[in-house]
Amino acid sequence: MNPVIYRPDHNLSEINSLAELKDLTVRCARCALRDGCSRVVFGEGNPNARLMLIGEGPGADEDRLGRPFVGRAGQLLDKILEAISLERFAHTYIANVVKCRPPGNRAPRPEEAQACLPWLYRQIELVSPGIIVLLGNSALRNLVDPDASITPMRGQWLVSKSGIKIMPTFHPSALLRDSGKKRPVWEDFQKVRDEFLKLAES
């Protein structure tokens, strides 16, 4: 029996848990990315996390394992979190703009991102973080402004309509290509740590 293809064209507010949302997401066929990937990479972490990290999309390692940020960039992200005394499974929830790997690790096309964003929006609502870190241009452009650029906007706090504090910064993969970006990212995550501690005390 073929699985039911779920197309989230209606209001997802009726979905009340991440587990239920994941079950529906893995059956999504709103764009062609699902046809070319091995696994849907839904997201993982603490479902009640105060801090949510959002990247671009799964890479080869993520596609193979069905988990976000498990390759070299993910290992670097773990080290960054450790450096500010946070642990990804205890303190964060991690997701991506798209949940299926784009061919050749290219950036998601606008229509692919738009097809997948309803899932991410509902994830954000269910996790209800106080802070979101946007990792790289794709996350910034799809969640804040399609004309934005990460370099001039990184390190600046933004605030969503619902009051979530948003910190754009470079994607960990950019640090692997350019070590000069490590210092700015470290400064950005220190700001995130300070804000996280304020939330923990409130």
Mean pLDDT of 177-200: 97
What are the tokens at 165? 């504090």
CA 6 from centroid of its chain's CA atoms: 22
**pLDDT value of position 1:** 30
pLDDT at residue 202 is higher than 90: no
Mean pLDDT of all residues in the chain? 93
> What is the tens place of the pLDDT at every residue in 46-72?
999 999 999 999 999 999 999 999 999
**How large is the average pLDDT for residues 76-87?**
97
Residue 6 is predicted with a pLDDT of 45
Contact criterion met (CB below 8 Å) for 41 and 94: no
Mean predicted confidence (pLDDT) in 99-113: 94
Whose CA is closest to 56, among 127, 133, 1, 131?
133
Number of helices followed by number of strands (H, E) in the chain: 10, 6
Q: Spell out the domains of the chain, with CATH numbers in brackets.
A: 15-201 (3.40.470.10)
Looking at residue 9, what is its pLDDT? 52
CA neighbours closer than 13 Å in the CB half-sphere of residue 179: 0
